[in-house]
Amino acid sequence: MLSIQHISKHFETVKALNDVSFDVPNGQILGLIGQNGAGKSTTFHSILNFIQYEGQIQWQGHSLSADDFNQIGYLPEERSLMTKLTIEQQIIYLARLKGRSAKEIRPQIDDWLTRFAVKGTRKSKIKDLSKGNQQKVQLICTLIHEPSLLILDEPFSGLDPVNADLLKQAILAAKDRGAAIIFSSHDMENVSALCDQLVMLRKGDVVLHGTLDEVRNQFGKSELYVTTDWSQSQLADLPHVQTVESRHGRHYLLHLDDPAAGPAIFDALTQGHYIEEFSQQPPSLDAIFRMKVGETNV
């Protein structure tokens, strides 16, 4: 388990992290979210001992040692590969830095290239690959030594849906073999799909922490999805309906100022008859993100 306890970091007058605490158990995925400058990369750099910080970070109950760092897979937000090397040379070079031998890694390379659908062979030069294929090679470099702790800074950035799904499957495979995984993303759909828990940072402070359901339920069931023949203006006139979004066709999303209004709205819409859709839910993670980030502009 990765344990972050009361870490703080200041850069001169800038508060990057302020008393941040959370745990990432083995075999679980934590999503670290927040707007740019919230402290996500600073958190990663603290774990990796790239910077000095106040507080305590432990792995499996002890401070991280040199051997422990060999068990970490880290994908930085800024991608960097040695473009004059071949794919094979690049992968083996970085794996050896993690204590793995070329003899151990070389037989795995073709399988990984196939798994990530890399358009190139092990003998292809990095410089001859597209940007997307270079990114996939760097992901392979991060994963091929089977790290026990996986730290991914915006791993989905620049990936199309097909390649993003390949990465999701690789992340879930690492989870299944017991790795503790922490990643940052601005795509709340990926966070919702993958994470056992999430932490939201805002200007260095933890403002939300828990499972997706725990976080969403803090905000009440204020979103109502309906499919109806009522018009958008008719729906907007219902009591406690703040706004109405037309999604497509007869599908609408109603934002309520009081979740308790749901049953009365149900009665008004159905009048004792069948209705195709009526689903009252907490706000989506994307909506929560916008709400919490918006508070910084008040």
Does residue 291 form part of some domain? no
Beta bridge pairs of residue 85: none
Q: Do 12 and 84 fall within a single domain?
A: yes
Other CB atoms within 10 Å distance of the CB of residue 142: 22
For residue 262, pLDDT beyond 90: yes
Q: Do 33 and 130 fall within a single domain?
A: yes
Instruction: Count CA atoms closer than 13 A to 20's CA, side-chain side.
Output: 32
Q: Do 208 and 248 fall within a single domain?
A: no
Domain that holds residue 265: 223-281
Structural domain ending residue among the three candidates 173, 188, 213: 213
Q: What is the pTM of this model?
A: 0.88
> Tens digit of pLDDT for each residue in 205-224?
999 999 999 999 999 999 99
230 DSSP assignment: S
Q: Do 122 and 269 fall within a single domain?
A: no
Angle at Cα 185 formed by Cα 3 and Cα 245, nearest 5°? Answer: 125
pLDDT for 131 equals: 87
Task: Give the number of domains in the chain.
Answer: 2
Q: Report strand pairing: 2-11 vs 14-24.
A: antiparallel
Q: Do 87 and 160 fall within a single domain?
A: yes
For 123-141, letters b (16+ CB in 10 Å) and e give: ebebeebeeebbbbbbbbb
The encoded tokens of residue 109 equal 């390379």
Q: Do 71 and 184 fall within a single domain?
A: yes
Q: Distance between CA 55 and CA 19 in Å, rounded?
A: 8
Give the residue from 222, 251, 255, 250 showing the smallest Cα distance to 238: 255
The encoded tokens of residue 266 equal 């149900």
Q: Do 190 and 237 fall within a single domain?
A: no
Alpha-helix runs per DSSP H in the chain? 40-47, 66-69, 87-97, 102-105, 109-115, 131-143, 161-176, 188-194, 212-217, 232-236, 262-270, 285-294
Percent of the chain predicted with pLDDT > 90 = 88
8 A C-beta contact, residue 140 and residue 116: yes
Q: Please give the mean pLDDT across all residues of the chain.
A: 93
Does residue 145 form part of some domain? yes
Q: How confident is the model at residue 159 (pLDDT cuts 50, 70, 90)?
A: confident
Does residue 298 form part of some domain? no
8 A C-beta contact, residue 16 and residue 10: yes
Give the residue from 7, 25, 4 showing the smallest Cα distance to 16: 7
- In single-letter form, the type of residue at position 51 comes to I
Q: Do 111 and 250 fall within a single domain?
A: no
8 A C-beta contact, residue 252 and residue 234: no
> Tens digit of pLDDT for each residue in 177-202?
999 999 999 999 999 999 999 999 99
Does residue 56 form part of some domain? yes
Q: Do 132 and 193 fall within a single domain?
A: yes
Q: How confident is the model at residue 296 (pLDDT cuts 50, 70, 90)?
A: low
Q: Do 55 and 129 fall within a single domain?
A: yes
> Tens digit of pLDDT for each residue in 7-43?
999 998 899 999 999 999 999 999 999 999 999 999 9
> Tens digit of pLDDT for each residue in 106-135?
999 999 999 999 999 999 999 999 988 998
Does residue 112 form part of some domain? yes
Q: Distance between CA 69 and CA 149 in Å, rounded?
A: 9
242 DSSP assignment: E
8 A C-beta contact, residue 281 and residue 221: yes
**Count of all residues that appear for the chain in the document:** 298
Structural domain ending residue among the three candidates 213, 238, 269: 213
Give the residue from 18, 17, 47 showing the smallest Cα distance to 30: 47
- Per the listing, tokens 């999503």 go with 31
pLDDT for 295 equals: 65
Percent of the chain predicted with pLDDT > 70 = 99
Residue 125's CATH number:
3.40.50.300
Q: Do 270 and 151 fall within a single domain?
A: no
Which regions of the chain does DSSP assign to beta strands (E)?
Answer: 2-11, 14-24, 29-33, 54-59, 62-63, 72-75, 149-153, 180-184, 197-202, 205-210, 223-227, 241-248, 251-256, 277-281
Does residue 288 form part of some domain? no
- Per the listing, tokens 């001992």 go with 49
Q: Distance between CA 85 and CA 132 in Å, rounded?
A: 17
pLDDT for 79 equals: 76
For residue 266, pLDDT beyond 50: yes
Q: How confident is the model at residue 141 (pLDDT cuts 50, 70, 90)?
A: very high
Structural domain ending residue among the three candidates 189, 213, 237: 213
> Tens digit of pLDDT for each residue in 41-87?
999 999 999 999 999 999 999 999 988 999 999 999 887 899 999 99
pLDDT for 298 equals: 43
Does residue 164 form part of some domain? yes
Does residue 153 form part of some domain? yes
Q: Do 236 and 202 fall within a single domain?
A: no
